[in-house]
Amino acid sequence: MTSSWPLVPLGDLLRPVSRPETVRPDKVYRLLGAHWYAGGLYVKDSKPGVQIQADRLYRVEAGDFVYNRLFGWKGSFAVAQEADSGCYVSGEFPCFECDRQRLEPAYLWRYFGRAVVWQEALGLSTGSTPTSRNRLKEEQLVAMAIPLPPLGEQRRIVARIEELAARIEEARGLRRAAADEVGQLAVSAEMRLWPDDCLATAPTLADVTTYLCRGRQSEQGDSRHYLIKTQHVQMGQYVETRLTLAAHVAAKVGTEALARPGDVLIACSAAGCLGRVALYDDAARTASTDTHVAIARPNPELVLPEYLFAYLRGAQGQLQLRSREKGDWQREKVGFRLTELNVADMRHVPVPLPGLPEQQRVVDGLAHLQSRVDGMRRLQAETAAELDALLPSILDRAFRGELA
């Protein structure tokens, strides 16, 4: 920090402001929350007063410095924008007006966008439960001191931060666009391998498997029989289960229902999981699936396990599986219907089937492409991490007086 910048307590720069209003049953209130990590205010709900339990709310106006007492240690600080003006907060969100002759609100907000300040807020917070009831009280906030350059320098610093932040966001947009293009590489290759016009005469999933069924037993207990659930079927990867069936239900599982290396596992229900496929490769354990996971066992005379897996996880295979979903997740007055893939419908999924040598060439080609895609994604992840580190570094330099 430049030595010419004095450290000034916030109590000298902020004035508490309170605009209480008694909640009226017939009025609709837009209620604000504050994002963590100085992410700004947002409208978290819009409710008529009759649905609000509190007797009193507090109106916010543009330019107010606002924070959440409970989550100051998570960086829940913000400056109200024009869009926030006229919205309301609960009593857990103290508001302050900045002394505009000495302090630019945007400068203060950017200062509170730094991890070192959140750590300071954590040290000043008090409460019975450190992680959820840690309150930063007003008297503790205003005791914090900030480096205070002249008002013109504050505005220059804010403008420079905004300029650099915009460039970072532009770079993020380019990275996201590149990531989308990488994802489309595999999709395009898969759709060229399995175009729509090859499906009409293709055999079905029932034709190319010797076993296609969802599990039946799911009661957990102490046995050496392992249970595979949707959480173990990630897209393209089987995650080893540690769950076991109860001994008395494990005894009911038939031999055909035991998972074997080369089986393709298909998640048949559960939000966010449906349609995921994985290739089972655990020869050391006795395991079976619950009713939310199906086993598709390739007929070795017709189809390679790796080929069937590659097809079902690819763009065309996923389209054919997901187009057969039934039910929905929309909650109504009482309940909801579970979205799922029924075995009867999965039996009709078309599976384009070249000869076994050609299947192996397809598998090898897709594996090579996937290796390239994974490599590009690793580079993109590294770039994303570098971009994420830029703004915190810029803020630290800015409040040390080192931002040109």
pLDDT digits (tens, 9 = 90+) for 358-369: 999 999 999 988
Per-residue model confidence (pLDDT) at position 185: 80
Per-residue model confidence (pLDDT) at position 3: 56
Per-residue model confidence (pLDDT) at position 97: 97
Same-domain pairing of 162 and 292: no
Domain contains 54: yes
**Final residue belonging to a domain, choices 87, 114, 148:** 148
Same-domain pairing of 307 and 332: yes
pLDDT tens digits along 168-193: 999 888 888 877 787 788 889 899 99
Share of the chain above pLDDT 90, in %: 75
Domain contains 335: yes
pLDDT at 381 over 90: no
pLDDT at 264 over 60: yes
Same-domain pairing of 335 and 362: no
Same-domain pairing of 134 and 163: no
Domain contains 132: yes
pLDDT tens digits along 38-81: 999 999 999 999 999 999 999 999 999 999 999 999 999 999 99
- Name the H helices within 87-217: 105-111, 115-124, 138-143, 151-193
Give the contacts of 209 (CB within 8 A, at least 6 positions apart): 296, 297, 298, 299, 308
Number of structural domains (the chain) is 3
Alpha-carbon torsion 87, 90, 91, 93, what sign? Answer: negative
Alpha-carbon torsion 374, 377, 383, 388, what sign? Answer: negative
- In whole angstroms, what is the distance from residue 78 CA to residue 40 CA? 5
Domain contains 36: yes
CA 283 to chain centre: 34
**Final residue belonging to a domain, choices 350, 366, 395:** 350
Give the contacts of 292 (CB within 8 A, at least 6 positions apart): 214, 215, 229, 230, 267, 268, 269, 270, 273, 340
pLDDT tens digits along 277-330: 999 999 999 999 999 999 999 999 999 999 999 999 999 999 999 999 876 544
Same-domain pairing of 331 and 263: yes
Per-residue model confidence (pLDDT) at position 305: 98
pLDDT tens digits along 197-212: 999 999 999 999 999 9
Provide the edge-to-edge strand list for the sheet that holds 293-298.
209-214, 293-298, 264-267, 277-279
- In whole angstroms, what is the distance from residue 182 CA to residue 372 CA? 9
Per-residue model confidence (pLDDT) at position 22: 97
Same-domain pairing of 136 and 256: no
pLDDT at 334 over 70: no
Domain contains 84: yes
pLDDT band for position 8 (cuts 50, 70, 90): very high
Look over the chain and give the mean of its residue pLDDT values, rounded to a whole number. 91
Domain contains 400: yes
Same-domain pairing of 100 and 70: yes
Same-domain pairing of 44 and 143: yes
For 134, the token pair is: 């840690």
Per-residue model confidence (pLDDT) at position 332: 42
Share of the chain above pLDDT 70, in %: 94
Per-residue model confidence (pLDDT) at position 67: 97
Same-domain pairing of 15 and 114: yes
pLDDT at 333 over 50: no
pLDDT band for position 374 (cuts 50, 70, 90): confident
Give the angle 321-325-327 at the CA atoms, nearest 5°: 170
Per-residue model confidence (pLDDT) at position 131: 53
Same-domain pairing of 42 and 139: yes
Domain of residue 356, residue span: 155-194+352-404
Per-residue model confidence (pLDDT) at position 331: 42
Same-domain pairing of 270 and 386: no
Same-domain pairing of 117 and 231: no
pLDDT at 94 over 90: yes
Domain contains 1: no
Helix (H, G, I), strand (E, B) or coil at 115: helix
- Can you give the CATH number for the domain in which 222 is found? 3.90.220.20
- DSSP states of 28-39: EEEEEEE-TTT-
Domain contains 2: no
For 355, the token pair is: 């000869």
Q: Work out the number of other CB atoms within 10 angstroms of the CB of residue 258.
A: 15
